[in-house]
A and B are shown apart, each in its own frame.
Chain A
Amino acid sequence: ETGVTQSPTHLIKTRGQQVTLRCSSQSGHNTVSWYQQALGQGPQFIFQYYREEENGRGNFPPRFSGLQFPNYSSELNVNALELDDSALYLCASGTGTRPEQYFGPGTRLTVT
């Protein structure tokens, strides 16, 4: 059984650019959630996808968007990058009926 994987590991972008982060869910899981973790803070919920539709959203602007594919892999897209978007982005997968979510290692995004 493979766990949650994310790519790339690290990424450097310039303010105003767009970025796409990728995630492969753990086998048997059908939900995928994305979190942003700033330095010294806990992860902050961005949104969750279930059956390829957004299933819940945190307090993030529309320039944060996502996709879930039929194989349960997922993308997080961020447009018009701002310096404050610099953070660790975590993907987590789970099953629709359980609260436990299982995290990938994260993508470290730096916006300069």
Chain B
Amino acid sequence: DQQVKQNSPSLSVQEGRISILNCDYTNSMFDYFLWYKKYPAEGPTFLISISSIKDKNEDGRFTVFLNKSAKHLSLHIVPSQPGDSAVYFCAAYSSNDYKLSFGAGTTVTVRA
């Protein structure tokens, strides 16, 4: 039962433009939502998180938006840079069982 879904397997964007990654979830008990970035042959790297009681969190070029009524969150990267090319995972955290539930990932390619 996939509780976190990333429906776009890939995204291609031009350098300098905005990248928008989307994520949907089904479990209303999730407390936090996180985004991770993964390069080949490396573990996922934590990017940014948002509490379920907030609707926006910003950190430099990265902004996460949360729409609880729609059970939807998105990650905006602006401006996109070549080093942003990676796989991005959406994850949701439940304090009931301390686990992160991950989506399948979106591969972002930033074109020069």
* A interface residues with partner B (beta carbon < 8 Å): 4, 31, 33, 35, 40-45, 48, 50, 55-58, 90, 92, 99-106
Contact = CB atoms under 8 A, between A and B. Distances in A.
Contact of A43 (B6, B31, B89, B95): B89
A45 B98 CA distance: 10
Given A42-B89, A42-B105, A99-B49, A104 B43 contact: yes
A35 B102 CA distance: 10
Give the interface centre of A35, A50, A57, A99 by most chain B CB atoms within 10 Å.
A99
B49 A100 contact: yes
A40 B104 contact: yes
Contacts, number: 62
Interface string B88-100: 0101010101111
A99 B45 contact: no
A48 B100 CA distance: 10
A55 B100 contact: no
Contacts of A55: 98
Contacts of B104: 40-42
A4 B43 CA distance: 9
B43 A45 contact: no
B62 interface: no
Given A43-B44, A90-B44, 19 more contacts: A33-B99, A40-B104, A42-B4, A42-B6, A50-B98, A55-B98, A57-B97, A58-B99, A90-B43, A92-B43, A99-B32, A99-B34, A99-B49, A100-B34, A100-B49, A103-B36, A103-B46, A104-B43, A105-B42
A41 B95 CA distance: 23
Given A42-B105, A105-B41, A100 B46 contact: yes
Contacts of B43: 4, 90, 92, 103-106
Contacts of A50: 98
Contacts of A4: 43
Contacts of A105: 41-43
Nearest to A50: B98
Nearest to B87: A42
